[in-house]
Structure 1
Amino acid sequence: MSLNHAGEDRIRSEVRGPSRRSVLAGIGGGLFAGLAGCTSLGSPEATDGSGGSDGGGDDGPVAVASFFSFYDFARKVAEGTPLTVRNLVPTGLHGHGWEPNASVTRDIIEADAFVHVGEDFQPWADRAIQTLKDDDVDTQLINVREGVELVELAASLDPEEEGVGQGRGKDPHFWLDPRRAKVAVDNITDGFAELLPEHEDAFRENASAYKADVLDRIDRDYRDIFDRAERKVVQLAAHNAFQYIGVRYGVEMRPLVVNLAASGDVKPSDITEAKRVIDENGIRYIGAGVFETRKPAEQLVAETDVEAYFPVTPYAGVREDWVEQGWGYEEIAYNINMPTFEIVLGNRAPEEVGGDGWAERWRNFE
């Protein structure tokens, strides 16, 4: 069942549930132990992913986000208001496939709002939401995916590949499309306006400016890159997370890992198919996922005419140096994805993109 700020089954109701303190005390021994047993990675304290919290401060209202992209949108919407926004995913980890320990659920219970990606994408977030529902905790839920039109998983695959697993269901990676990302910004804005109605004007002004000044500009610049390309096929040594860019801009994205998990296995048949695509399209450069293993990309460089790989990311996490520079969705688009797409499409030579030293720094990066 879908949850959003306006639904009848929202956690936040006119009759407030038990205090967060009492819920934490009452369920700590059983539920949290069970959650910890389901996870594989520890979770440090929630980080904002930008080198500092945004908003009012520790004593004011706090919203936590389950995914970097939407943390970044949320902090832009909350700018100049008392609302602090924090990113739950630690620096250096991919937001999809990460399994935190129980401390993250505790952070969500203690927060005033939880910005999440919708059900069936992050299992740990689904479990945390169920905990809030079961215990009638008044943390407000903000589903960024509400009202977003999702594409079929097979939308940009060859017809003969449909129905073999990846052809079923919907692709959740909608935020890579800047136009669909605007819907997420609107959902966040509506949720924050309900949480702090006295700051609604500021939230809506911030959102309007971000959509016009950032997301619309990214959309135009992506369109320019793909319109200038003579080749309409991109080979990525990455998981299946880039189809929305392909659908929006009329290019075929060929992921090496055909499932949706960044930790998915690369089968010999995947390598064989990638080699065919590379050979038939005369591909000299490919993209490789920043937060994924580089071994398949290295194999393609060694066994095909590919000369090098360069970075791509679905905005699912941040590196330490990106945090230090305060990078968000906008900066990652312009400093990572766009230069790589220029190269892999054959629009420009590596040394011509990204500024001084970019190609040397990112060519066959480790």
Structure 2
Amino acid sequence: MNDAVPSRTRRTFSRRRALAAGTTLVAAGLAGCTAGGRSDQGDSTADGTGGSAADGDGPVVVASFFSFYDFARKIARDTPLQVRNLVPTGLHGHGWEPNASITRDIIEADAFVHVGAEFQPWADRAIQTLKDDNVDTQLINVREGVELVDLAASLDPEEEGVGEGRAKDPHFWLDPQRAKQSVDNITEGFVDLAPDHEETFRANSEAYKTEVLDRIDRDYRAIFDSADRDVVQLAAHNAFQYIGVRYGVEMRPLVVNLAASGDVKPSDVTAAKRVIEDNDIRYIGAAVFETRRPAQQLLAETPVEAYYPVTPYAGVREDWVEMGWGYEEIADNINMPTFEVVLGNKPPEEVAIEGWNDQWRNFE
């Protein structure tokens, strides 16, 4: 998990070599989830954290994915650690095409929080550069020790899975109980990085797991246990299976592969129409960082009355950043009310968040 190259005395030299090598490292395109957008400029302060690797006196930690950036900043609270999200605001964290400045940010950081092999190809290439050039940026793999589930039966058979979890679904963090293992992994990495603050890291970690992740788990459980229906239709890519596995509900994605930019086949639309009609579904979920065209097609061609937002916590909107939202707030304000509505627990007008229905009904 924390496989840093050990020699601090060679830090400056090795990082200069790696910076030179890294200028061409991330020019290639990426596979996997995309947000219908592209960033050629890696804006590592777009998450609203501000600052740069040179600001402050504490160690700098950079993260390759929003969810784990959020966990990390909560664990680092009240310590000198500076935690930064590398993925720009508005982009999906699984598929993104950064430029060489992001590799430079990783090389200059004291630690790099990443999601494990073969999930973000740009991160894999950056890690290889660190190892090839003996750069001592500490590597913290959030997926270490997490039990992954098999890919959904509805998944495109061409999909292969990720890394050591071949034929496995990588989106484990949607299950708040599995997410706790990643919190532990980050905590251990931070203890190695700044042992003088071990007590604070561990206290923050335990508080986050019990007060946030366990609470989210209970709230999700209450929502799904109260539902008469056990099928959710999503106009989104195949990222929500872990919620289905944890709470005993069938999450049916319209895009049946792991790529958020994946094409919707006519057969997928036909299957979705059948599910909607068989289960008397009036509301569906649509992914915030994906195209709304599939949701709009179902709206036009089925009895569905509206779609509402879901997200696998893979990115943030600018207004979410301004409000300081993290994993917890997105669960509470986006996913939970949508699941209440699409399961038929309550009509959208009765969601207990002021203006929620007006803002999110058939959102653009």
Question: What TM-score do you get using the length of structure 1 for normalisation?
Answer: 0.91
- Long gaps (5+) in structure 1: none
Report deviation, 1:65. 0.3
Q: How many residues align?
A: 352
Asked whether the equivalents of residues 63 and 85 of structure 2 are also in contact (C-alpha less than 8 Å), the reply is yes
* CA distance in structure 2 between the partners assigned to 1:112 and 1:295 by the alignment: 42
Q: From 8, 11, 21, give the equivalent of 1:16.
A: 8
User: Are positions 1:364 and 2:362 aligned together?
Assistant: yes
Q: Paired residue for 1:234?
A: 232
Q: Paired residue for 1:131?
A: 129
* CA distance in structure 1 between the partners assigned to 2:241 and 2:251 by the alignment: 6
**Percentage of pairs with the same residue:** 70
User: Are positions 1:60 and 2:52 aligned together?
Assistant: no
| Residue correspondence of structure 1 range 3-82 to structure 2 within 5 A | 4-5=1-2, 10-13=3-6, 15-16=7-8, 18-19=10-11, 21-38=12-29, 41-47=39-45, 49-52=47-50, 57-82=55-80
Q: Paired residue for 2:251?
A: 253
Secondary structure at the aligned position of 1:18 is classed as helix
Question: Against the structure 1 CA distance between its residues 29 and 46, is the aligned structure 2 distance closer, same or farther, given a 3 Å change threshold?
Answer: same
Report deviation, 1:163. 8.3
* CA distance in structure 2 between the partners assigned to 1:179 and 1:239 by the alignment: 22
Alpha-carbon RMSD across the aligned residues, in angstroms, is 2.0
Q: From 332, 337, 340, give the equivalent of 1:339.
A: 337
Asked whether the equivalents of residues 172 and 242 of structure 2 are also in contact (C-alpha less than 8 Å), the reply is yes
The one-character-per-residue Cα deviations of 1:61-107 (angstroms, maximum 9, x if unpaired) are 10000000000000000000000000000000000111211110110
Question: Against the structure 1 CA distance between its residues 67 and 354, is the aligned structure 2 distance closer, same or farther, given a 3 Å change threshold?
Answer: farther
* CA distance in structure 1 between the partners assigned to 2:328 and 2:315 by the alignment: 13
Question: Against the structure 1 CA distance between its residues 350 and 264, is the aligned structure 2 distance closer, same or farther, given a 3 Å change threshold?
Answer: same
Asked whether the equivalents of residues 92 and 317 of structure 1 are also in contact (C-alpha less than 8 Å), the reply is yes
Q: Aligned partner of 1:35: which letter?
A: V
Q: Paired residue for 1:89?
A: 87
Secondary structure at the aligned position of 1:36 is classed as coil
Report deviation, 1:17. 6.4
- Long gaps (5+) in structure 2: 31-37, 162-166
Report deviation, 1:356. 1.8
Q: Aligned partner of 1:295: which letter?
A: R
* CA distance in structure 2 between the partners assigned to 1:163 and 1:289 by the alignment: 19
* CA distance in structure 1 between the partners assigned to 2:29 and 2:256 by the alignment: 25
Q: Paired residue for 2:113?
A: 115
* CA distance in structure 2 between the partners assigned to 1:67 and 1:212 by the alignment: 22
Q: From 298, 306, 309, give the equivalent of 2:307.
A: 309
Report deviation, 1:29. 4.8
Asked whether the equivalents of residues 295 and 307 of structure 2 are also in contact (C-alpha less than 8 Å), the reply is yes
The one-character-per-residue Cα deviations of 1:29-84 (angstroms, maximum 9, x if unpaired) are 55422432446631233126245469995332100000000000000000000000
* CA distance in structure 1 between the partners assigned to 2:181 and 2:48 by the alignment: 23
Q: Paired residue for 1:266?
A: 264
* CA distance in structure 1 between the partners assigned to 2:156 and 2:43 by the alignment: 41
* CA distance in structure 1 between the partners assigned to 2:300 and 2:79 by the alignment: 52
Asked whether the equivalents of residues 150 and 174 of structure 1 are also in contact (C-alpha less than 8 Å), the reply is yes
* CA distance in structure 2 between the partners assigned to 1:110 and 1:29 by the alignment: 12
Asked whether the equivalents of residues 22 and 103 of structure 2 are also in contact (C-alpha less than 8 Å), the reply is no
Question: Against the structure 1 CA distance between its residues 102 and 215, is the aligned structure 2 distance closer, same or farther, given a 3 Å change threshold?
Answer: same
Report deviation, 1:245. 0.2
Report deviation, 1:209. 0.5
Question: Against the structure 1 CA distance between its residues 17 and 284, is the aligned structure 2 distance closer, same or farther, given a 3 Å change threshold?
Answer: farther
